[in-house]
Amino acid sequence: MYNAKAYSASGAASPLASAKIARRDPADHDVQIEILFCGICHSDLHQVRNEWSGVMPTVYPCVPGHEIVGRVTRVGSAVAKFKPGDLGAVGCLVDSDRTCPNCQAGLEQFCPNMILTYNSPDKHLGGVTYGGYSDSIVVDERFVLRVPPSLDLAGTAPLLCAGITTYSPLRHWGVTKGKKAGVVGLGGLGHMGVKLAHALGAHVVVFTTSPGKKEDALRLGADEVVVSRDANQMRKHVGSFDFILDAVSAEHDVSAYIQLLGRDGNMTLVGAPEKPFPVAAFSLIFGRRSLSGSPIGGLPETQEMLDFCAAHNVTADVEVIPIQKVNEAYERLLRSDVKYRFSIDMASLRDTRP
């Protein structure tokens, strides 16, 4: 066991602050990673503030962060995939039972015993797992991804959650050339949804509440942009979509988007607002439309997504910040003021006194 530097929250109303945490020494199958960049996901904010208390109550202290890229510093004796000096990445999962049908199919995100990167039981040290707002992490090699060398590291970190969470449903629902795909909410997930749907060849329409994001949306790969608070603009698209990805972090009118789907169209929620919202039955009944959800992605698909991003030269648009600005970044997330993902330069943590 050794001490690592981290930023942690001691309660739902507390800001994140500098702390020391225990990490295990690498066992036979473990990889120790010096964290270089960690993205800030809106899920970090939901979890730190215990906004998902009904489903995943937060255990404090909480060290968030599940968009991790770094440099391998040590490996256990049985590790074959990595050696010291290699790049490595860790997303939302650090373990699973490896035996259930989901794990056997490479769909670890559905394993009933999956271990999330933070706020899950830690079978090695007790307590809960601690995430990537830290200078290092130790993870079983099976849950460490390879980073294609051509990718910019600060912009690659967000692929580990925002990238895979949007890539997986886009692939599952067959978004490709000839399909019309909508993306609701141009934040961290949304902007990756736009880039990936565009790279997959679809006609992409962005729905945003922020008229000031229109030019960016087009630059990121959208073919059309709709300001969703303008009913006239919304009406033009009724019944026309094959697929809509909803990446909104707060309460909003989901039925307004469902009616934009064509026959057998699907809308998938990846956004996870704190409170439940109503759905108009007739918006689904007419057109035999469906509404689904989708969580992150399994390990094989996450590696596939990273390789797809390297082949299509896709990374997140990031604002790189020092860890000392993390609390300010959370407030900006709540104002939809992020272009389009914060990526923490973890050198800022290493340079601080313990």
Looking at 19, 26, 37, 43, which residue binds ligand NAP (CB under 6 A)?
43
- CB 40 to ligand NAP: min, Å: 8
Looking at 18, 113, 209, 303, which residue binds ligand NAP (CB under 6 A)?
209
Establish if 41 lies at the interface with Zn ion (CB under 5 A).
yes
Helix H or strand E encompassing 188 = helix 188-199
Applying CB under 6 A, the span of 202-210, 233-241, 256-264, 323-331 interacting with ligand NAP comes to 202-210
Looking at 43, 47, 136, 156, which residue binds Zn ion (CB under 5 A)?
43
Site for Zn ion in 147-206 (CB under 5 A): 161
- CB 248 to ligand NAP: min, Å: 4
Q: What are phi and psi of 199, to 5 degrees?
A: -65, -30
Establish if 306 lies at the interface with ligand NAP (CB under 6 A).
no
Q: How far apart are the first and last CA of the chain?
A: 17
CB 341 within 8 A of CB 40: yes
Applying CB under 6 A, the span of 27-35, 142-150, 172-180, 294-302 interacting with ligand NAP comes to 294-302
DSSP codes, 75-132: E-TT--S--TT-EEEE-SEEE--S-SHHHHTT-GGG-TT-EESSSSB-TTTSSB---S
Q: Which is nearer to Zn ion, 109 or 266 (CB)?
A: 109
Distance CA 47, CA 43 (A): 6
Looking at 5, 32, 35, 42, which residue binds ligand NAP (CB under 6 A)?
42
List, in sequence order, every residue forming a beta bridge with 21; answer none if it has no partner: 4
Distance CA 139, CA 293 (A): 28
Distance CA 115, CA 11 (A): 22
Helix H or strand E encompassing 192 = helix 188-199
Instruction: Give the one entry of ligand NAP, Zn ion, none that residue 249 binds, where binding means its C-beta sits below a cut-off of 5 to 8 angstroms depending on kind.
Output: ligand NAP
Distance CA 166, CA 273 (A): 16
Applying CB under 5 A, the span of 1-9, 40-48, 177-185, 323-331 interacting with Zn ion comes to 40-48
- CB 75 to ligand NAP: min, Å: 29
Question: If DSSP codes are grouped into helix, strand and coil, which group holds residue 154?
Answer: helix
Q: In the 8-state DSSP scheme, what is residue 275?
A: S
Tell how strand 2-8 and strand 17-23 pair up.
antiparallel
Q: What are phi and psi of 334, to 5 degrees?
A: -65, -20
Establish if 12 lies at the interface with ligand NAP (CB under 6 A).
no
Q: Which is nearer to ligand NAP, 79 or 248 (CB)?
A: 248
Q: Which is nearer to ligand NAP, 193 or 265 (CB)?
A: 193
- CB 66 to Zn ion: min, Å: 5
What would the x/- binding string for ligand NAP be over residues 239 to 278, using CB under 6 A? --------xxxx-x-----------------xxxx-----
**Cβ-proximal residues to 204 (8 Å cutoff; 6+ apart), any chain:** 181, 182, 183, 194, 197, 198, 221, 222, 223, 224
Report the residue count for the chain. Answer: 354
Q: Which is nearer to ligand NAP, 213 or 237 (CB)?
A: 213
How many residues sit close enough to ligand NAP to count as binding (CB under 6 A)? 31
- CB 135 to ligand NAP: min, Å: 23
> Residue 82: how many CA atoms within 13 Å on its side-chain side?
30
- CB 24 to ligand NAP: min, Å: 26
Residue ranges that bind ligand NAP, judged by CB under 6 A? 41-43, 46, 161, 165, 185-190, 208-210, 213, 247-250, 252, 270-273, 294-296, 333, 336, 338
Residue ranges that bind Zn ion, judged by CB under 5 A? 41, 43, 161
